[in-house]
A and B are shown apart, each in its own frame.
Chain A
Amino acid sequence: MQNSFGEPQTIVLLGGTSDIGLAIVRELESAALRHVVLAVRNPDSAEAQAAAAGLRSPKVEVSVMAFDAVLSDTHSTFIDSVVAVVGDLDVVVMAFGVLGEQSAFDADPAAAARAVTVNYTGAVSVGLAVAARLRRQGHGRLVVLSSVAGERVRSSNFVYGSSKAGLDGFAQGLGDSLEGTGAKVLVVRPGFVHSAMTAGMAAAPFSTTPDKVAEATVKALRSGARTVWTPGILRVVFSVLRHLPGALFRRLPLG
């Protein structure tokens, strides 16, 4: 159960090695926290073990559990097994995803479809499994890491952007469907984030860091918001971009 300050006792991070996801877990850490589940493809990987070691403390238990976003058939059972380990799910953070390179996708359509399966299809199946659980327990928060890339899809990364556009719409609809149940969805729309996922890429304007995204996310969770842009200025920027005529939009140097 979350307490009156919105401090969770249990956190599940889907995409357990995500820089942003781990930053959110750290930001949610408090005296109330007792169990964190890192859901990763390979629990034995050095990366996963390091992430777990970084969070473990005498008061916080950390479990690393095998989860594969593309195996939609396993998602309901996976959520059941998480509940068997930690009990009620207070906060679930959906942070898995692949960015990929547009030029590579252009050359390999099957690879593009696989990326979309992770970013969108996998998010749909596990998102619905989480929502069913939250509805059943009458409380809990699902945090979905969307992206401004889905807000108006650009030619430079339209496979990724379109998968995030789908995810964003799904997450909003899921949140609305939980209205009145006590459970809630928070959609997080970060801009360019300096992280392992974007290492080596040129930063877009209004770039940010995992810690800043985490700070904004937790603030939004506590205030009960349904969406949060980070940095906040992007809400304004994209409300302009969204309505820009295509002829103009295509000429913008958006990278």
Chain B
Amino acid sequence: MPQMHLSRLAGWGRTAVSGARLLPVNDSNVAEAVRAAPQRGALARGLGRSYGDAAQNGGGLVLRLAGDAGGALLDIAKREVTVGAGVSIDDLLRVLVPQGFFVPVTPGTRFVTIGGAVASDIHGKNHHLEGSFGNHVRRISMLLADGSVAELNPALRADLFWATIGGMGLTGVILDVTINVIPIETSKCIVDTTRAHDLDHVMTLMEEGDDRYRYAVAWIDLMATGRHLGRSILSRGEHATREQLGSDNDGPPLEYSPSVLVSVPPIVPISALNRVSVKAFNAAWFRKAPLYRVGELQTIAQYFHPLDMVGRWNQAYGPRGFVQYQVLVPVGEENALRRVVERLATSGAASFVTVLKRFGAANPSPLSFPAPGWTLTLDVPAGTRGLAAMLHELDDVVLDAGGRHYMAKDSHTTPDAILRGYPRLAEWQAIRNSVDPEGVWQSDLGRRLGLIAAAY
């Protein structure tokens, strides 16, 4: 067995640290490691990009599954790739893009693992047309609590397959996954940008025009109030064709070598992102955006993963860390969304990256987050005065409207809120408990939100 380390682990928001034994494992020794798990159970952790405590297991075992994109099997005829769960989207794209393929869904960072993408059922800018990651999973191979390896797909053990998608890693250790890939002609995106003067404007533009684009998302200046409330930059695009690339672009059309341009120093004594700096930044960014621009060519990294260009950007929030708040408000409840935006804007909480996205249809997973409606995402320094009380208050607005929290981002809410937001929780728990009656799979998030019968 490889050596065990006691590690203090946190999520990307760097709040609520807990100590666990972190153990690097691979396909051949993971079952043995799980058999030796302590009473507080085991959990697989990817790259730790969940914002809260989803990938932590205080006092228990945390498994880091090795991932090598070199082992990815691309089947061009079937347009699918089979890849280890520990492989990151970053590494996978470096294999896929030069061969003319792209992942079916990417979140705002490429530093997530395939296993994490399944467990959180991540979504991206194409949700309104193509759904979340789980919609594109063809099969999963997973280590179960009893030590056996199960083969899952939408036809074989469909209930466990869908309970694993969005299951927050609490159904087993995902070992490898087969997903769809989509063909691309170039590694560039062609992007249209529109400025919207307020919230109603941007929502109207999205309702009317999103479906003409594969990718669509709006950035909201959450620090603007009054008649500017909800002013946004709407950015929509598609993978560029060779023809669109034109002649002034030299170099191979499928070239892909994204890099981290700068990094935040490892220790920032206080939050560099505060009301003043964020307000100034937001205003400048908004004014710099064109009123309307079509056909701009951007790289994959620029378009999909702009924050990845700044290494360790989470550390700019200082030692107290930050909270990401992402909620869903269903179609028809736009007034609730407006109330949330209004309350946040007038509170003056310094939200640096606030994103509004229109979701399409949900998938069959009982714990999947996306459903037809709107999702709002913001980052706020955790030390902001009054923030905790305000978010609990907003939780009620969202839940009363039939909305819910995205668990991969959550770090503050309550078991009650999850129960209200996910009416199929009991169904998921029954499936999970049937394959893990002893409660081998445990996490801090699972304990905090009452997802599992926690082992103490």
Q: Do A and B bind each other?
A: yes
B263 interface contact, C-beta 8 A? no
Give the A-B pair count, Cβ closer than 8 A. Answer: 100
| Contact A32:B412 (CB < 8 A) given known A7-B388, A138-B19, A182-B19 | yes
Q: What is the interface size of chain A, counting residues whose CB is below 8 A from a CB of the partner?
A: 28
Which of B136-144, B216-224, B306-314, B319-327 interfaces with chain A? B319-327
Contact with B along A218-236 (1 / 0, CB 8 A): 0000111000000000000
Q: How far is the CA of A83 from the CA of B18 in the complex (A)?
A: 18
Q: Across the interface, do B6 and A30 meet the contact criterion of CB distance under 8 Å?
A: no
Closest chain A residue, CB of each to CB of B322: A4
**Contact across chains for B17 and A5 when beta carbons are under 8 A apart:** no
Instruction: Flag whether B58 is at the interface (Cβ < 8 A).
Output: yes
Q: Is the CB of A4 within 8 A of B412?
A: yes
Closest to B20 in A: A138
Contacting residue for A31 out of B19, B57, B387, B392, CB 8 A: B392
Taking CB atoms, residues of chain A closer than 8 Å to B52 are 3-4
- B186 CB within 8 Å of chain A: no
CB pair B447–A87 under 8 Å, yes or no, is: yes
Interface members, chain B 37-90 (any A CB < 8 Å): 40, 52-53, 57-60
- Judge if B117 is at the interface, Cβ distance under 8 Å: no
Q: Does A88 contact B (CB under 8 A)?
A: yes
Given contacts A223-B320, A224-B319, are A32 and B414 in contact (CB under 8 A)?
yes
Question: With A and B bound together, what is the CA distance between A139 and B60 in angstroms?
Answer: 11
A26 within 8 A of B: no
Cβ-defined partner of A139 (8 Å) among B18, B415, B456: B18
Residues of B within 8 A of A183 (CB): 19
Contact B412 A7 (CB under 8 A): yes
Asked if B433 is at the interface (CB within 8 A of a chain A CB), the reply is no
Output the nearest chain B residue to A1 by Cβ-Cβ distance.
B448
Instruction: Count B interface residues, CB 8 Å.
Output: 38
Asked, given contacts A3-B16, A83-B456, whether A139 binds B58 with beta carbons under 8 Å apart, the answer is yes
Find chain B residues with CB under 8 A from A181 CB.
6, 8, 19
- When distances are taken between beta carbons in the complex, the residues of chain B under 8 Å from A4 are 13, 15-16, 52, 321, 323, 382, 411-412
Specify which chain B residues have a CB less than 8 angstroms from the CB of A6 in the assembled complex.
Answer: 16
Q: Distance in Å from the Cβ of B331 to the closest Cβ of chain A? A: 27
Look across to chain B and name the residue whose beta carbon is closest to the beta carbon of A31: B392
| A:22-51 near B, CB below 8 Å | 30-32, 34
Q: A5-B387, A180-B6 are in contact. Are A87 and B411 (CB under 8 A)?
A: no
**Contact between A137 and B59, CB atoms less than 8 A apart:** yes
Residues of B within 8 A of A172 (CB): none
Which of chain B's residues has its CB closest to A9's CB? B448
Set of chain A residues within 8 Å of B389, measured between Cβ atoms: 30-31
- Decide yes or no: A2 and B456 within 8 Å by CB, A181-B6, A223-B320 being known contacts: no
**Most chain B CB within a 10 A radius of its CB, from A138, A181, A182:** A138
Whether A136 pairs with B59 at a CB distance below 8 angstroms is: yes
Q: Collect the chain A residues with CB atoms within 8 Å of residue B6's CB.
A: 180-181
Interface positions of B from 433 to 454, Cβ below 8 Å from A: 444, 447-448, 454
Chain A residues with CB under 8 Å of B412's CB are: 3-5, 7, 32
Q: Given A1-B444, A9-B448: A180 and B16 within 8 A (CB)?
A: no
Give the distance to chain A from B190, nearest Cβ to Cβ, in Å: 38
The reply to whether B18 and A31 contact each other, CB–CB distance below 8 Å, is no
Inter-chain CA distance A138–B17, complex, in Å, is 9
CB pair A88–B447 under 8 Å, yes or no, is yes
The residue of chain A having its C-beta at the shortest distance from the C-beta of B449 within the complex is A1
Q: Which residues of B, 192-249, contact A by the 8 Å Cβ criterion? A: none
Tell me if B388 and A139 are in contact (CB < 8 A). no
Q: Quick one: which of A31, A138, A139 contacts B414, CB cutoff 8 A? A: A31
Smallest distance from the beta carbon of B19 to chain A beta carbons, Å? 3
Q: Are A182 and B58 in contact (CB under 8 A)?
A: yes
Given the complex, which residues of B lie within 8 Å of A30, measured CB to CB?
388-389, 392
A34, A135, A137, A222 pick with most chain B CB within 10 angstroms: A137
User: Please, how many angstroms separate the alpha-carbon atoms of A88 and B52 in the complex?
Assistant: 18
Give the nearest-CB partner of A138 in chain B: B58
Hey, what's the 0/1 contact readout for B380-396 against A, CB within 8 Å counting as 1?
00110001110010010
For the complex, give the distance between the alpha carbons of A135 and B382 in Å.
25
Chain B residue contacts of A9, Cβ below 8 A: 448
Closest to A179 in B: B8
Q: Most B CB atoms within 10 A — which of A6, A83, A181, A182?
A: A182
Closest A residue to B455 using CB positions: A87
Given contacts A4-B13, A138-B19, 18 further A-B contacts (CB under 8 A): A1-B18, A1-B444, A3-B413, A4-B412, A5-B15, A32-B392, A32-B412, A83-B456, A87-B447, A137-B18, A137-B59, A138-B40, A138-B57, A138-B59, A139-B18, A182-B20, A182-B58, A183-B19
5 contacts between A and B (CB under 8 A): A5-B388, A9-B448, A31-B389, A138-B20, A181-B8
